[in-house]
A and B are shown apart, each in its own frame.
Chain A
Amino acid sequence: MRRLTGGVAKKKKPSAKAVEFQLPIICDADTLRSLVRKKAVRVVDVRKADDYTNEHIPTAVSLPLARILENDAPDKVVEILCELGISDRMPVVVYDDTFGALAARVAWTFQYVGHANTALLEMTFKQWKELGMETEKRPNKYPRASHSLAVNSNIHADAKYVESAKSEPGKLLVDSRERLNFLTEHIPGAKNIPYTMVGANGSILRRAEELKRMIENRGIQNDSEIITYCGSVGTLSGLTYYALKLAGFQNVKLYPKSFKEWKSLGKPKEEFKDANYWDLSAE
């Protein structure tokens, strides 16, 4: 068992009326444990329902990603928040077992509908277990809460927005898919920051200064507006979205419908066919 080293939340006494703890972008394990102990957080498990039933982080509720993807209309999402007993300012920490990508998509969705106080757990459930930290089996149910709807359109992009942005100076399109997929085809003008780049060493995201350096290496100005996308539903690009936030970029948007929609709309693509790079893969 890892011992608690004083999490920030420890210092504040939770009470119903007190100012809620404001989460950073990434919530570390100690902070989460401290919040859990004080019952001052809603932990959201976005793995499959069966995995949740089997074992989960104490006090967590289950919200499989599929439920969000079924219908992520803002009012539906707010309805889910209410159902999970999440009120407007309650700290919410999301985790998954897919290197943070599913958690990122759900966290982004919460923030999009107006739940700003959302963070990603720094690690996956598997890593949480490997560190010997506490889990539980019994499902949790909380009294319904009320949550307001305040769509934050600043963090959302649709195909139309992407299309106009790609030619505007100061706006940058980032493709989060792996290198070979990117080389094969991508939205014209997009830069590739594969999702595989942003995490490392048992953490779903690298340290902020590392991410910052990598992005700086690419010559990207820190006041740029960046739109991230990936292959289909905005999971990989969700993770990149948070990597960019962590690196200090203020203006980041997610194009959740991503390249799948882009292609289905018959929009232009950039392709690279002059090399047989797929034959290098040892799979």
Chain B
Amino acid sequence: MKKSKVTSVSPPKPNPKWGREEETEIFAKRVKLFRQGKISEDDFRRFRLQHGAYGSRLHMDYSMVRIKFPAGEITADQLDKIASLSESFSIGSAHVSTRQNIQLHWVQLEDVSEVMRGLVEVGLTTRESCGNSVRNVMCSHFSGVCPNEVFDATPYSKAIARFFMRNPMCQNLPRKFKINFSCCDQHGLVKVADIGLVPAVKTSEDGQTIRGFKIYLGGGLGAASFIGHLLEEFTPEDRMLSTCMATVRLFDRHGNRENMARNRMRYLVHEMGWEKFQKMALKERSIVEMTTSYSTARMFDVKAEEDTRQLPKATRIAKLPMLNESVTKDSPAFERWLHTNVVAQRQEGYFTLFITLGAGDITASQLRVLASAIRDYSAEGVARNTPHQNFAVRYVRGTELRDFYEKLASVGLANPGALTIASAVGCSGTTSCNLAITNSHRLAKEVQRRFLELGLDTDDLLRDSTVKISGCPNSCGQHEIATVGFFGGATRMNNSMTPTYTMLFAGSAGEQGQLGKVVTRVPAKRVVDTVLKIIEIYRQEKSGNETMHQWITAVAKGKATGTIKDLEDMKGALAQVIQLPSPEQDPDAYMDYGSDSRFIAKTARGECAA
């Protein structure tokens, strides 16, 4: 393990026994048996997904290997390993997902076990990152440094991830199951998960501060999305495990095993009604508490996941002006980057900086430079990947931000805009997913490229707005929690099949999270112009310092005060941008990004449900 040059703190130890070598050998054997026709396709698919290998778009000889990172935490050595695995067995780059996984695409099925073997060497695993299991446990990338949090949820998220991993109680769920932790009410995706947890504290009768959570159940994004319900005002930390176990057990018992399209827990909650589900959950929790053995409960060990290293104090520096003062497209590149990619931490003198990626893609050589930068400049010696498909590097001293920046810039990793509207999210779309109808991945990159060119990242009033794009209605791109969200489809326009996106307005994350509302359908090649038009209209319509997200939310509610009052007015104002000339006049407008031929919507069976 290489040591940091700026701190005497040794890098954190990756999860012991998190990845297991014997599983890689079993996987290799199963692939051979499958190829010899000795295991049925269905059995093999279930097994493969349980071990984190997802079939690739219309070509089952290849897999997408999904590596899970509880709380998104990744060490420099792990980044190096992923770099070499991506070169050896994938396409020479890796992809950050929207759920803090990192994915390697187009890995030959026969090589998956080799990838797994490499991951085990650095304490990583793909186990239960796909299939009907408890997926990667997310935790806000700000946890531990967020100025608004009451305590750091990271060790809880890691402990719960470890508890459910390989746990017999969740090896055959009706469908996948997602658990998300936040740091505060702002950050984190707690209302759109099966279980969402917000750290909270309460003062007990004897004046003690008790830690606990506000727990939301039954939320989730997908073809039909739901917002989670608050189980009770406060769940003390010693009841957190039993609450999670009770929820998983209820889902396991009552979840729909017949209809794959409606078998996530949110449908169960919806169909049963929240009040009934809530009662059952509380009752189930009592049963869990009465029947769980001591040795089982002990498997949930928050203490073991705590980072007990003493990080050195950073020296106070005069406040970095560029974090708060406005910049323009013509500002020096470093200042623009500071303003749009760096935030101050709760810990004085330390900063969290964000690495801008295009729809989550990063090359092997960039990964290596990032690893080296983390060793050199992050006092905690790890990075976190974020649901915005970026990396967050925390505990960087203010005095070293420029060095860090220079290092990133040497490999094209110092683009500005990570914390702004320019950082568009895009799922993998037709680049690798069976379900995708459109190339959402490339579109997100196009949005980012164009927005950075125009300097939209420097407009602070756009900063709280997000653009998120999915290639189908299934929400991996989280389009329903975006200020302006899009999901892909196919529409006949002027008698020609056209890749289109349904546009939604005013979705948001956090504890007050709301789902977006459908506005209209936009041809793929008009999406960038449409968003630009919306920005133009917003700039004319806004009152005072109203941000774009605030204005769009007002429009979605029909409460805007300018000439555009509601979504109908908006549709009218966008009609012209959306319109397409005939296919003869502009054939390109009818093709999807990344394609030079006529658009055909091709999909195959999805593997989200095994």
Q: Is A196 a contact of B88 with CB atoms below 8 Å?
A: yes
B110: chain A residues within 8 A (beta carbon):
217-219
Contact of B428 among A178, A180, A197, A280 (CB under 8 A): A280
A218-B110, A277-B432, A282-B362 in contact; A197/B88 too (CB < 8 A)?
A: yes
Q: Is A274 a contact of B363 with CB atoms below 8 Å?
A: no
Q: Is B28 a contact of A279 with CB atoms below 8 Å?
A: no
Which of B52-60, B276-284, B451-459 interfaces with chain A?
B52-60
**Complex Cα gap A281–B93 (Å):** 6
B113: chain A residues within 8 A (beta carbon):
217
Query: Could you give 15 example pairs across A and B, Cβ below 8 Å?
Result: A197-B89, A214-B111, A217-B31, A219-B35, A272-B59, A274-B602, A276-B429, A276-B593, A277-B106, A277-B431, A279-B441, A281-B92, A281-B363, A282-B93, A283-B363
Q: Is A183 a contact of B92 with CB atoms below 8 Å?
A: no
B362: chain A residues within 8 A (beta carbon):
282
Q: Is B106 a contact of A279 with CB atoms below 8 Å?
A: no
B158: chain A residues within 8 A (beta carbon):
none
A173 to chain B, nearest CB (A): 15
Contact of A196 among B92, B430, B441, B602 (CB under 8 A): B92
**Complex Cα gap A197–B88 (Å):** 4
Most buried by B among A180, A200, A277: A277
Which chain A residue shows the least CB distance to B25? Answer: A213
Q: Is A279 a contact of B91 with CB atoms below 8 Å?
A: no
Which chain B residue shows the least CB distance to A210? Answer: B114
**Complex Cα gap A197–B87 (Å):** 7
Query: Which B residues from 415 to 450 make CB contacts under 8 A with A?
Result: 428-432, 439, 441-442, 445
Q: Is B58 a contact of A274 with CB atoms below 8 Å?
A: yes
Query: Which A residues from 244 to 283 make CB contacts under 8 A with B?
Result: 272, 274-283
**Complex Cα gap A278–B602 (Å):** 18
A200-B88, A214-B114, A281-B91 in contact; A276/B595 too (CB < 8 A)?
A: yes
Q: Is A196 a contact of B87 with CB atoms below 8 Å?
A: yes
Which chain B residue shows the least CB distance to A192? Answer: B108
A214-B114, A217-B114, A272-B59 in contact; A279/B92 too (CB < 8 A)?
A: no
Q: What are the 8 A-B residue pairs with the smallest beta carbon separation, nearest first?
A: A282-B361, A276-B594, A274-B58, A279-B442, A275-B57, A218-B110, A282-B93, A280-B431
Which chain B residue shows the least CB distance to A196? Answer: B87
Most buried by B among A194, A274, A279, A283: A279
A153 to chain B, nearest CB (A): 31
A275-B57, A275-B432 in contact; A282/B442 too (CB < 8 A)?
A: no
Q: Is B358 a contact of A282 with CB atoms below 8 Å?
A: yes
Q: Is B478 in contact with chain A by the CB < 8 A criterion?
A: no
Which chain A residue shows the least CB distance to B114? Answer: A214
A231 to chain B, nearest CB (A): 15
Q: Is A179 in contact with chain B by the CB < 8 A criterion?
A: yes
**Complex Cα gap A196–B59 (Å):** 22
Which chain B residue shows the least CB distance to A280? Answer: B431
**Complex Cα gap A129–B557 (Å):** 67
Q: Is B59 a contact of A279 with CB atoms below 8 Å?
A: no
**Complex Cα gap A16–B32 (Å):** 52
B92: chain A residues within 8 A (beta carbon):
178, 196, 281
A125 to chain B, nearest CB (A): 20
Q: Is A275 a contact of B430 with CB atoms below 8 Å?
A: yes
Most buried by B among A197, A200, A213, A276: A276
Q: Is A276 a contact of B430 with CB atoms below 8 Å?
A: yes
Q: Is B366 in contact with chain A by the CB < 8 A criterion?
A: yes
Q: Is B475 in contact with chain A by the CB < 8 A criterion?
A: no
**Complex Cα gap A180–B90 (Å):** 9
A279-B442, A280-B91, A282-B93 in contact; A274/B57 too (CB < 8 A)?
A: yes
A214: chain B residues within 8 A (beta carbon):
111, 114
**Complex Cα gap A219–B35 (Å):** 8
B418 to chain A, nearest CB (A): 15
Query: Which B residues from 350 to 398 make CB contacts under 8 A with A?
Result: 357-358, 361-363, 366
Q: Is B95 a contact of A279 with CB atoms below 8 Å?
A: no
Q: Is B91 a contact of A178 with CB atoms below 8 Å?
A: yes
Q: Is B602 a contact of A277 with CB atoms below 8 Å?
A: no
B105: chain A residues within 8 A (beta carbon):
277, 280
- Could you list 16 further interchain pairs (A-B, Cβ under 8 angstroms) beyond the known A213-B114, A272-B59? A179-B91, A180-B91, A180-B106, A192-B108, A197-B111, A217-B110, A217-B114, A219-B32, A219-B36, A219-B110, A280-B93, A280-B431, A280-B432, A281-B92, A281-B93, A282-B363
Q: Is B340 in contact with chain A by the CB < 8 A criterion?
A: no
Q: Is A217 a contact of B84 with CB atoms below 8 Å?
A: no
B88: chain A residues within 8 A (beta carbon):
194, 196-197, 200
Q: Is B361 a contact of A280 with CB atoms below 8 Å?
A: yes
**Complex Cα gap A275–B111 (Å):** 20
B57: chain A residues within 8 A (beta carbon):
274-275
A272: chain B residues within 8 A (beta carbon):
59
Which chain A residue shows the least CB distance to B358? Answer: A282
A178-B92, A179-B106, A196-B87 in contact; A279/B32 too (CB < 8 A)?
A: no
**Complex Cα gap A257–B31 (Å):** 34
Query: Which B residues from 70 to 92 make CB contacts under 8 A with A?
Result: 84, 87-92
**Complex Cα gap A178–B91 (Å):** 7
B593: chain A residues within 8 A (beta carbon):
276, 279
B298 to chain A, nearest CB (A): 38
B361: chain A residues within 8 A (beta carbon):
280-282
Which chain B residue shows the least CB distance to A198? Answer: B88
**Complex Cα gap A200–B86 (Å):** 12
A276: chain B residues within 8 A (beta carbon):
429-431, 439, 441-442, 592-595
A133 to chain B, nearest CB (A): 23
A123 to chain B, nearest CB (A): 16
A214-B114, A274-B602 in contact; A280/B58 too (CB < 8 A)?
A: no
Q: Is B363 a contact of A217 with CB atoms below 8 Å?
A: no
**Complex Cα gap A275–B105 (Å):** 12
**Complex Cα gap A279–B58 (Å):** 16
Most buried by A among B36, B106, B366: B106
A179: chain B residues within 8 A (beta carbon):
90-91, 106, 108
A180-B106, A196-B88, A218-B110 in contact; A279/B431 too (CB < 8 A)?
A: yes
B432 to chain A, nearest CB (A): 6
A282: chain B residues within 8 A (beta carbon):
93, 357-358, 361-363, 366
Most buried by B among A180, A196, A197, A217: A217
